[in-house]
Amino acid sequence: MKRHTVAIAGTGLAALTAAARLTELGIKDIALYGNGFGGTPFIAAINFVLPENLYADTPQLYYKDMMQAGYGVSDPALVSRMAARSLDTYQLLCRWGVNFARNEDGSIKLRHVSGHSVPRSLCQTTHLIGVEIMNRLIPALKERGVEIHEGCRVVDLLTENGRAAGFTVSKDGELFQVYAPYVVAAWGGLGNLFGKSTYPDDVMGNTLGMAGLAGAELTDMEFIEFEPLVAIAPEGAVGEASPTAMLGEGGVLRNAEGERFLLKVRPQGEAGASKSLINREAWKQVAAGKGGPHGGVFLDLRPIGRKVLEGYPWFLNRLLAAGVDPDRDMLEIGPMAHSFSGGIRVDCSYESTIRGLYAAGEACGGIHGACRPAGNAGSQAAVSGMLCAEGIFSAAAGGDDFVPSEQPVRYREDPEVRAKYFPEIQQIGAEKLGIFRNGEALLAGISRLDEMTASGELDKDSFTRQSAAALLAILKAALWRTESRGTHNRLDYPETDPAFDGRNSVIAAN
């Protein structure tokens, strides 16, 4: 058994920035429990509004871009706060030693990635920026006394009289309780809840169900981000997600007839196009018989030039290793589940509907709405980590002296139940929650999951029960939304709400 002032589930970007800010604010006894680093080491692009941005970027413009990309679904208060505190988060990372790539004249290198009206995406050009952040923050946090427990999976959330009290941890086959008056869910997003995705294996998505079963409200659960530029051919490159910055650098999209199909709906070109628009238009090409032999469309990197591609060494090297010559070959690409815009509902301090349970990064929802600009998952993880730390600091300063009581471990494991039901749960998700959905299929999935849950069998294996609860929440949200909006496309309701054209989002005052 362990006790802490703040217990954080996860060791990715949201967890690390939360711990960094808590440390700066003088909070003692902070502990992180994680079983890997989630999507963080893969982050190539992260957006911040910098005053020195030559493209005259402002928090207001960033707010507008986020609301527009979110198809009006995002919570304006959360988005406004994220835009307003973007610079503070960048400065927090700089204080902890994070270096961002610079141009020859010393200015910060800014890239133009999908969904932004100006270049505002920061990076590293020798390694991934996510790796840079981990390499700087992890040793510095340990040096300042923060406990980082690796190889730990949080398997249950503890509550007491309706407030957060800690969590149950599984490590090396042992279970133990961690008690804390302030708990941060920073366990990432959907992960591999229903099979194939770009997520690493340590993010499982059952955590959404864990939070829901503990009584936390969830939001925007129907919005799964499908990365549009994932290679589906040639063989060696399959699964490789091309950065959307490739379109900002001059790469273009073509159908099997060589046409730049996006220009018909976006005459200004591919640069900055939202992921949902790319996915929808690519699908139309495939449906019209203008797709490639593997059911995708083509990413043509040839206009970019080798020198620019060398600024993305992890990407270029993987292409070359797969036998792809970007000066000669086009990549056949298609969408793959990549990140999640829904999650635990939070207020502007990132506190959930359970007092003392905070959620940051991909674990929480409400910011991205129906779709997000590229690079904004990383920004959101960093900003929300910082803001939840400030929320905890304010709550602790209020003189709350809650000490959680000890409680028995409720988590249960039954390998037979897991083997019997979990593959079917994954299959239901994969079949019903693709990029195009329809009401009948969603309803069938819900009925089957309801049936499984009602049998009581799933209660013998908490992980399976949590996974079913997570999937059920997503299916229900997808059934409820009888329209196509952002990343959620209903074949039985194909039209995106015509009333929303992205311009009616109010510009934030700050």
Ligand X SMILES: Cc1cc2nc3c(=O)[nH]c(=O)nc-3n(C[C@H](O)[C@H](O)[C@H](O)COP(=O)(O)OP(=O)(O)OC[C@H]3O[C@@H](n4cnc5c(N)ncnc54)[C@H](O)[C@@H]3O)c2cc1C
Residue ranges binding ligand X (CB under 6 A): 9-15, 33-40, 42-46, 153-154, 186-188, 198-199, 202-204, 207, 241, 339, 361-363, 375-378, 381
- 285 vs 461, beta carbon nearer ligand X: 461
At its nearest, how many Å lie between ligand X and the CB of residue 183?
Answer: 12
In the complex, the smallest distance separating the C-beta of residue 380 from ligand X, rounded to whole angstroms, is 7
61: Cα within 13 Å, side-chain hemisphere: 16
Least separation in angstroms between CB 466 and ligand X: 9
Nearer to ligand X, 39 or 292 (CB): 39
C-alpha to C-alpha distance for 72 and 330, rounded to whole angstroms: 35
Q: Which CB sits closer to ligand X, 281 or 362?
A: 362
Q: Least distance in Å: CB of 487 to ligand X?
A: 14
* Alpha helix positions (H), 59-114: 59-69, 76-84, 86-95
Q: How far apart are the first and last CA of the chain?
A: 45
In the complex, the smallest distance separating the C-beta of residue 441 from ligand X, rounded to whole angstroms, is 26
Tell me the CA distances in angstroms from 423 to 189, 428, 436, 469, one per residue in order: 19, 9, 22, 15
Residue in the block written with tokens 């819900």: 446
Please give the helix or strand (H or E) that residue 466 lies within, else none: helix 462-480
The distance of closest approach from Cβ of residue 81 to ligand X in the complex, given in angstroms and rounded to an integer, is 17
Cα–Cα separations (whole angstroms), residue 35 to 150, 169, 172, 203, 255: 5, 10, 11, 9, 41
The DSSP secondary structure of 443-460, one letter per residue, reads: HHHHHHHHHHHHTSGGGG
- Distance CA(162)–CA(216), nearest Å, equals 10
Query: Which of 131/277 has CB closer to ligand X?
Result: 131
Q: Cβ 497 to ligand X, closest distance in Å?
A: 26
- Helices 13-24 and 129-143, axial angle in degrees (round to 10): 40
CB-CB neighbours of 68 under 10 Å = 22
Long-range contacts of 439-445 (CB under 8 A, 24+ apart): 439/479, 439/482, 439/490, 439/492, 439/493, 440/492, 442/475, 442/478, 442/479, 443/479, 445/471, 445/475
Rounded Cα gap, residues 201 and 464, in angstroms: 16
Nearest CB to ligand X, comparing residues 152 and 297? 152
Q: Which is nearer to ligand X, 119 or 375 (CB)?
A: 375
| Closest to ligand X by CB, 233 or 363 | 363
- Identify whether the C-beta of residue 44 lies closer than 8 Å to the C-beta of residue 312: yes
Alpha-carbon Rg for the chain in angstroms: 22
Q: Between 167 and 298, whose beta carbon lies closer to ligand X?
A: 167
**Stretch (H or E) spanning 321:** helix 313-321
| Shortest CB 374 distance to ligand X, Å | 6
Nearest approach, Cβ of residue 43 and ligand X (Å) = 4
Nearer to ligand X, 241 or 508 (CB): 241
